[in-house]
Structure 1
Amino acid sequence: MRRILSTALATVTLAALQPSAIAQEAPNAPVATEATAPLDALVSQVAIPYEKFELDNGLTTIVHTDRKAPIVGVTIYYRVGSKHEPRGRTGFAHLYEHLFFGGSANAPNFDVPLEAAGSTTTNGSTWYDRTNYVVTIPTGALELALFLESDRMGYLLPAVTQDKLDKQRGVVQNEKRQGDNQPYGLVDYVTGDGLFPVGHPYRHSTIGSMADLEAATLVDVRNWFRENYGPNNVVMVMSGDIDAATARPLVEKWFGDLEPGPEVPQAEAGPVTLDAPVTRTMVDQVPVTRLHRVWSGPGLNAADSPALMIGMHILGGLASSRLDNALVRGDQLAVAVRASAQVFEQVSFLNAEMDVKPGVDRAAAEKRFDEVIARYRAEGPTEDEVRRAVTSVVSAQIGALEKVGGFYGKGATLAEGEMYSGDPQKFAKDLAAMASLTPADVRTALDTWLSRPVFALDVVPGERTEDGALMGGWGDEASRPAPEPDARKPAPPLPAAPERHPPEVSPVADLVFPEIERAKLSNGIGVALARRTAVPKVMLSLAFDGGYAADAYDTPGTQGLMLEMLDEGTEGMNATEIAEAQERLGAAISATGSLDESVVTMSALTANLGPSLDLMARIVRRPAFAPSEVARLKDQRLAQLSQVLASPPSLASREFGKLVFEGHPYGQPSDGLGTQESLSALTPADLQAAHDKWLRPDLATITVVGDVTMAQLLPLLERHFGNWQVPAAPAPRIDLAAATPPASPRIVLIDRPNSPQSVIYAGRVLPLSGTQGGVEALDLANDVLGGGFLARLNSDLREEKAWSYGVYSGVPKPVGPRYFVLSAPVQADRTADSIRAIVTNMEGFPGTAPVTEEELQRVTDGAIRALPNSFETNAQVLGAIRMNQRLGRPDDYYETLAEIYRSTDADAIAAAASEYLRPDQLTYVIVGDREVVEPQLRELGMPIEIRETGENAQ
């Protein structure tokens, strides 16, 4: 997982938005570009109040109180990651992370009791510097979470068997295959090899090499635990509905008796300056040539790091970045560019990328790419670029205030500051340093680090010639001695652990969903507002009936391209000026589509809501559709389509929807890209016509969540959208009642040579619509079958058989016909076996394998207890309100959901599974290596159609 700038900030006080100030704005005034709240004042008020204590065994605990919801995030960081792995044991830290979820001496399973108690984001991750574990639970389940965390911290080993090790080894190997199978999936291996010498702690990948994973033994597991997982190497954060006075006795109760272990030594590591530039070309199954320019840089505690983060953000992170303006919008040599400083404890990766536009000479692209970087390094940024970059970063961080836990919440921010810098408030100091940056500071840092010899990697289309299974290790595998023949001999028995008993989970109060206020603009547009004041931000969506399904009445790809064109120019503003205006305001405006809707979403600082809405209105109501910009965006969409066709999961998903909904409006490509032929044919006039036809006030609804009152909001909305006249032509309607093709069992195999995995998508259309009520039992039945980590499909194919990294199923809720779909990336040699296992699981549910008491409790009581966790952020509340509106559900639907779940018994779940979750009549789309997969599939006795990858563009 990537480490980014800490994403949780805290108490921010901004001047309230004054209605009098709103009333003074003119309807067509220029977009205000000066932030209402000065940047330095905004940053100076950022803090996460906390208390910290340490147990005698060295466990450091940090507590942050946030009472906005009855939930607590528990975040645990262990000071051990892949950089601590010795030669021959690459990938071991991550493999051990998987084992950490397999149960401990007094807790046979970690996930089951937590999910039954209403946990969310129960997960873990490994990276170079650390391994972390996160869970967000209802307050009443906090002590249970602490018991479980302490039991595996102190008493894991008696529960780790050879069988568990072998199964999780297989899971991790499939995780590696899944990543390697993607276009550009081998780049990280090559980058580490190019930047660092053999033995450098940051050289090898966190996933490791197949050979090292295969060599891991039970003795290795025990040693890793004893050497690295002592409480003295841990930072634990509790953030949310908790205080230090309550937390400390609980921590002492459950963790106080754990013995400390050895201190994890700090690895000798740092940035490396290459002796000379290094250039490498790699041939891969990729749709476009991608150029990489990478340097190793300083770690996160270095003085230059804030300047490099902002400098690289200006180079290729902003929408108005130097690379975008020069190579995408300017010379039009690229279809996409990126740049970032990926900062770790002791080094950083300074990376710039360019996806070369098809048809452009590679040498010419390389020359211009390097020229832009060199000129920027020499000149440095402008004052305006620095202010825009810092404002956009700070605004994004304020939005992250809402999360108490998870990988990037307030808990992770405090833990990282303590672990890497000895200061939980390190993030605030970084933001203050960014706010005080001058252009000269950024230019000096860039010149210091980017003037060094570069590692240049070009990935070009062709047949993959390198094998990811042989990559990811130290790089000296060929010179190593063979492993000892008795390396897998049985490990000696372990003494029994002390007996401990889990605490009871306290009752969880019913969900109180935010109150929703409703109003209408003078032209009839409905407005829904849920006021939430946890952070000084507002999220607003302007949704229009008619999404990608509208392409059934226009040219495929029209709606998606039209929406993407909205911020590429308006009356009086070009694409760069629009991007710069958003950055100055700390706003983010985006237009996206789904099958049913076209949605423009805005996240804005409350203090800058007025000018942000002004900009949004211009984007929505008066897009320019300039011919030159349309041509440029068409090229980018065509390149995006080629990326989709090269990505096995994206290709399988796209083709599945087209097949099961063929002839229905939902039969359009679900990514909204259309086909190469249809995209190429679109004109500015087509896009303008689609805009006028589908983006109109009588098809629109406005939903707002955040720190604003209706009295403040309504005049703004009326000024910017209330005078939008309804066209004389009747509003278009999409025929969602159109017939869908009859379901029939079949396999469509899309040949993708050299694929170590097969991606399976399977499903069928159901005789239900999204607006039908009373089908919650179906959702619960799917939760039993494939709706989560503990569901039957994932438990079987991942945890038991180790053929996949993850198998999931779902029953989405479009307005029209609902459908069942499952996805299963599986190792290629187990493709047909995986289908047999899927069918067996579905056939057995509920007949020979009815719902168990544990499953019933998990999917009903667990779901009830998880409800408060489900609406922690403004985005979550916004999504729930919009879902209710779209499906015709009452505003209090989620408040009634607990009682619906309580009244749903095993019989109701079984009935739903029997009617809707049958394995017969499924359409299978499989993207994999035909040579490996087809012979297996022929044994299944289903009709098989073979397609080549390129056929799917049409």
Structure 2
Amino acid sequence: MTVKLLALSGVALATFVTPSFAQTAPKPVPVADLVKQVDIPYSEFRLPNGLRVIVNTDRKAPVVAVSVWYNVGSKFEPKGKTGFAHLFEHLMFNGSENAPKDYFTYTKAMGATDLNGTTYFDRTNYFETVPVAALDRALFLESDRMGYLLGAITPAVVDEQRGVVQNEKRQGDNQPYGLVQYKQTEALFPATHPYGHTTIGAMADLDSASVEDVKNWFRGHYGPNNAVLVLSGDVDVATAKTLVTKYFGAIPKGPESVVPTADVPTLAAPKSEVMKDRVANTRIYRMWAVPGINNPDAVALDVAAGVLGGLSSSRLDNALVRKEKLAVRVSANNESFAQVGMFVVSADARPGVDPALVAKRLDEIIADVIANGPTADEVARVATRDAAGRIAGLESTGGFGGKAVALAEGALYENDPGFYKKQLAELAAQTPARVKAASAKWLTRPVYALTVIPGARDAYVEATPPVKVAAAPEPEFKGTRGALPPVGTLSSLVFPKVEHAKLKNGIELIYAYRNAVPITQASISFDAGVAADVPGKLGTQGLTLDMLDEGTTTRDSIAIAEAKERLGASITSGSAPDRTIVGMFTPSANLAASTELLADIVRHPKFDPAEVARLKNQQLSRISAELTSPQGLALRVFPKLVYGAAYPYAKALGSGDAKAVAALTRDDLVAFQQAWIRPDKAKIFVVSDRPLAEIKAAFDARFGDWTPTGPAGVKDFSVKTAPSAPKIVLIDRPDSPQSFIIAGAPTALVGTDDLLPLETANDTLGGDFLSRVNMDLREARHWSYGVNGSFRRAQYATPYLLGTGVQADKTGESIAALRTDFADFVTTKGITSDEFDRTITDAISSLPGNFETSGAVLGALQSNDLYRRPDDYYATLPQKYRGFTAGQLDAAARKALDPKRFVWIVVGDAAKVRGQLDSIGLPVEVIPAASVADVR
């Protein structure tokens, strides 16, 4: 969180207390009123072949979300064919008979955003948001992979995607607690149960699958009568019907997916297991199989989970974390699928605390909720939080949680696109009695208790390189459906008008109006950031921010958490290299009350010594957790290597230096807050459906009389960067099934430079799915699940950073391949005409989709301010992109990037990896993972 400190240590707090707004703040809007604001008008029709089409017209932007949901997921897989649904998700991105290139080649050429595909137990979905001018082409592509895929499935393609899936599995397995999902599924469900295996499946099943096996799976499940197509955005029903009939109408029906019977299993007796993993904290789980969304008790169980461990003020947070200080993290979640669900409660024991005591108290608190139920206020707070989250999600037409998702889920699982309304009505109607009854019914059954303790990881079935299938001749694509439809005339980005105002004390307010949903999002941006953290006391800023919502002069931490929940608001904090942010999200109906709470948190933090001690323990626990994560380990080492130890950005040490954090005092936090979290370092950015006058009045009432205390902090960038000489740093993390690689190189760039040519050039090198490095390591070699590289823009320095996970036995070869890719790009193999054309087309045509949401606009306002760009910067981009040439982009990349200056960080099992690195031609330095904590 973020702060403005009111008192120095030893000075009476009463001297600094300002009048509280708590008595005058408006009351929160009732959850029933919030629920009424959630509405997605739709129409639907069916084609003769059974395809169900749902259309939602939303004219806020010239884009359409296209979402295809197939009634096939891992629960449909028979024994010996596990992982097939997920494998097919990958295969359907590899080209179809009339569009034989990688699917992203076509979507990039029409500016698609929010583009992906996912698989889970109940379904497989594919989605993209496209400019309305590209809707014809998007529907052609989706219909081609629905009806004309088989000719594109070759042994080489199947083998390639098997390798990619195996690296996806390794990437998940490589994380701390990454193997819990297997234990959970196996324990809660019999092996023969439809939900009895994970979606990623058994690698042995995928290895043994023939091409004909794979094709038969497609024939059995991917027909139009097994799918729901949702169009949400700038489209009407008549247009949709014409286009969908044109592109999907000729696809014949297929077999119907028969939804398997999936009862909710009950364990015969309680089951307890202990597993070891290289984790920082002992984690205690309690798990039950419960009903899915098709059961009336599902929503009540959602509320029970929120009361137990989902709210900031949950029973477990208040008891185990805040009061008794037995745990450093708790959670509870009811994950509902179509037919069953999994109710999971967990707690991370505080180091030095007996896990048995934590487990005992965890069980007692669960038992109390079951026996006595929640309070009416707890139920209302969960309902308000969930309703507010749903409102926010529906600002998007597509993506992972927009309108298309809500309509498709209801249609596929409950034969009702409007099912989301029934769920919200159920949420608003929940009572303590209903939640108590559902909890007693389902959570008194035998429990699966899993404890994960620190130690050498237990042996498990690891993904192995796939069995190679002999390459067959590539098919000759006939193009029987004709050429791809052309993309029509694209609409220009209409970026919201940006307005400026000042509060009474001079704080600048930057505002943009967006009315797609009734929400307000705001950021108070302080000129601080990572560069402002205290030398020798790294982690001071993080602890200061964490303390903001842990008590003010008028509210304790529980009262703050409850107030946020009653408002459906969130108040968060964090830091980037140059700025420290306190953010607010709220339903606009609760704007006045939410800004009052925000002001109390920012202006009047108490920094109670007991709370400081508790939060310090939690921060130390986070640091320990970072030291068990491959990404956390790499990112602790990276900054000093690429900037030099004395440079301000090298302070980015995760959650801080453990020894320094342990020694921090309340005075340290007060000093930081007074130096940096203050009105003369603040700017306020707001995107809202409420007019500027109302926004200004709300913030003026709460922040307009704010004055600073003491001298302001000063950042010193006079020191020069001092990057390391090129080398490989190998962080030895035993039992790693994958190596995590970061490569970093300094540049001469600063954030206020015009980086547009470079960022555009990097789209080809490392910034996109189709980039050189991703297509090489993922698609050509299938050694990785994904590779990404980007310029890490900051105000005073902008290095290049690349990251990827690769299978352990290909670590050395992967680094060699990446070095070649970079060297070729800046020497002999610059951007091709095809790469240039698709990058420029995508950059221009994706702009409307990129700024569909208030959050995206809010981020743009802050970036323009930080990098000293005009308010209309994004509206001018199309003209700038059209003025580029491939030669200009190549020249920019060659000037900025020197592949010979890269420093490579590898987090992996040295016993497997060390010998592979000697042939790279760089010095190799080995650091045990346990020693990374001492890197300062």
- Please classify the TM superposition score into its range, dividing by the shorter chain length: over 0.9
1:790 aligns with 2:770: yes
Secondary structure at 2:394 match in 1: helix
> Shift in Å at residue 41 of structure 1?
2.9
1:437-516 matches, within 5 Å, as: 437-469=430-462, 498-516=480-498
CA distance in 1, matches of 2:596, 2:477: 69
For residue 658 of structure 1, report the CA deviation from its aligned partner.
Answer: 2.7
Root-mean-square deviation (Å): 1.9
User: Is 2:207 the counterpart of 1:217?
Assistant: no
Q: CA deviation at 1:490?
A: 7.3
Q: What pairs up with 1:928-939 in 2 under 5 angstroms?
A: 928-939=908-919
The residue aligned with 1:5 is none
1:53 match: 45
Which of residues 837, 842, 860 in structure 2 aligns to 1:857? 837
Aligned counterparts, 1:169-180, within 5 A: 169-180=162-173
- The question of whether the paired residues in 1 share the 8 Å contact of 2:308 and 2:332 is answered with yes
- Tell me what 2:816 maps to: 836
Q: Which amino acid aligns with 1:99?
A: L
Q: Does the aligned pair in 2 maintain the 1:736–1:817 contact within 8 Å?
A: no
Deviates more, 1:286-295 or 1:644-653: 644-653
Flag the 1:491–1:348 CA change in 2: closer, same or farther, 3 A: farther
Q: Match for 2:715 among 731, 734, 755?
A: 734
The answer on whether the counterparts of 1:162 and 1:218 sit within 8 Å (CA) in structure 2 is yes
Corresponding residue for 1:535? 517
Residues 1:329 and 2:310 aligned together: no
d(CA) in 1 for partners of 2:710, 2:550: 28
Unaligned runs of 5+ in 1: 1-25, 472-482
SS of the residue 1:453 aligns to? coil
Shift in Å, 1:495: 10
| Map of 1:301 onto structure 2 | 294
Cα contact 1:552–1:668 (8 A) shared by 2: no
- Structural mapping, 1:175-324, within 5 Å: 175-324=168-317
Normalising by structure 1, report the TM-score. Answer: 0.94
How far does residue 147 in structure 1 lie from its aligned partner after superposition?
0.3
Tell whether the 8 Å contact from 1:33 to 1:585 is kept in structure 2 after alignment. Answer: no
Corresponding position: 1:29 with 2:29: no
Assess if the C-alpha contact under 8 Å between 1:550 and 1:665 holds in 2: no
1:705, distance to aligned residue in structure 2 (A) = 0.2
- Which of the numbers 921, 927, 933 marks the counterpart of 1:941? 921
Which residue of structure 2 lines up, in the alignment, with residue 91 of structure 1?
83
Q: Tell me how far apart the structure 2 counterparts of residues 740 and 726 of structure 1 sit (CA, whole Å).
A: 32
Partner of 1:399: 392
Aligned-pair CA distance for 1:466: 2.1
Shift of 1:650: 2.2
Q: Which residue is 1:22 aligned to?
A: none
Q: Does the residue aligned with 2:717 lie in a helix, a strand or coil?
A: coil
**Which amino acid in 1 is paired with 2:539?**
G
Q: Structure 2 CA distance, aligned partners of 1:636 and 1:370?
A: 22
Shift of 1:664: 3.7
Q: Distance in 1 between matches of 2:140 and 2:910?
A: 49
1:497 Cα deviation from its structure 2 partner: 7.1
Shift of 1:519: 0.8
Query: Match of 1:147?
Result: 140
Q: 1:499 to 1:218 in 2, by over 3 A?
A: same
Shift of residue 551, structure 1, vs aligned partner: 1.7
| Alignment equivalent of 2:340, drawn from 347, 355, 358 | 347
**Match in the other structure for 2:3:** none
**2:608 is the counterpart of 1:608:** no
2:13 aligned partner: none
Aligned mates of 1:376, 1:728 — CA distance in 2: 48
Paired amino acid for 1:617: A
1:75 partnered with 2:67:
yes
The CA deviation at 1:666 is 3.6
Which residue is equivalent to 2:683?
701
* 1:469-521, Cα deviation, whole Å (9 max, x unpaired): 279xxxxxxxxxxx9x9998979989967333210001212212100110111
1:866 and 2:846 matched: yes
Q: Which residue does 1:389 correspond to in 2?
A: 382
Is residue 404–residue 411 contact of structure 1 (8 Å, CA) maintained in 2? yes
Q: Which runs of 5+ in 2 are unaligned?
A: 1-17
The 1-side partners of 2:227 and 2:396 are apart by: 22
Deviation of residue 846 (structure 1)?
Answer: 4.1
Cα deviation 1:519-570 (Å, max 9, x = unaligned): 1112221101101111111001101011122124461000011001100000
- Structure 2: distance between partners of 1:36 and 1:734: 41
1:571-586 → structure 2 map (5 Å cutoff):
571-586=553-568
SS at match of 1:237: strand
Residue matched to 1:546: 528
Offset of 1:36 from its aligned partner?
4.5
Deviation string 1:644-679 (CA, Å, 9 cap, x unpaired) is: 111102221221123212234444453541111011
Match of residue 338 from structure 1: 331
Q: 2:871 aligns with which of 880, 891, 897?
A: 891
What's the secondary structure of 1:413's corresponding residue?
helix
SS in 1 for 2:748: strand
Per the alignment, do residues 671 and 592 of structure 1 end up closer, same or farther by CA in structure 2, a change over 3 Å counting?
A: farther
C-alpha deviations, 1:36-90, integer Å up to 9, x for none?
4332233234221000000000000000000000000001100000111111111
> Residue in 1 aligned with 2:31?
39
Residues 72 and 470 of structure 1: CA distance in aligned 2, closer, same or farther (over 3 Å): closer
Residue in structure 2 matched with residue 685 of structure 1 by the alignment? 667
Moved more, 710-719 or 167-176: 710-719
Structure 1 contact 556–678 (Cα < 8 Å) conserved: yes
* Aligned partners of 1:660 and 1:764 also within 8 Å: yes
Q: Give the aligned residue type for 1:778.
A: L
Aligned residue type for 2:20: N
CA contact (8 A) 1:219 1:491 kept: no
Q: Percent identity?
A: 48
| Distance in 1 separating the partners of 2:479 and 2:654 | 56
* Superposed counterparts of 1:718-867, under 5 Å: 718-727=700-709, 729=711, 731-773=712-754, 775-867=755-847
**What residue in structure 2 maps to residue 409 of structure 1?**
402
How many residue pairs are counted as aligned between the two chains?
Answer: 915
1:827 Cα deviation (Å)?
Answer: 0.5
CA distance in 2, matches of 1:288, 1:31: 42
Report if the CA contact (8 A) 1:107-1:148 is conserved.
yes
3-state secondary structure, aligned to 1:823: strand
Q: Work out the CA distance in 2 between the residues paired with 1:486 and 1:722.
A: 68
Q: Which of 400-409 and 545-554 deviates more?
A: 545-554
CA distance in structure 2 between the aligned counterparts of 1:209 and 1:725, rounded to whole angstroms:
62
Match of 2:858 in 1: 878
State the partner residue of 1:129: 122
Tell whether the 8 Å contact from 2:290 to 2:342 is kept in structure 1 after alignment. Answer: yes
CA distance in 2, matches of 1:204, 1:671: 38
CA distance in 2, matches of 1:495, 1:788: 27
C-alpha distance in 2 between matches for 1:737 and 1:55:
68
Alignment partners' CA distance in 2, 1:599 and 1:605: 20
Distance (whole Å) between structure 2 residues aligned to residue 637 and residue 32 of structure 1: 35
Partner secondary structure for residue 506 of structure 2: coil
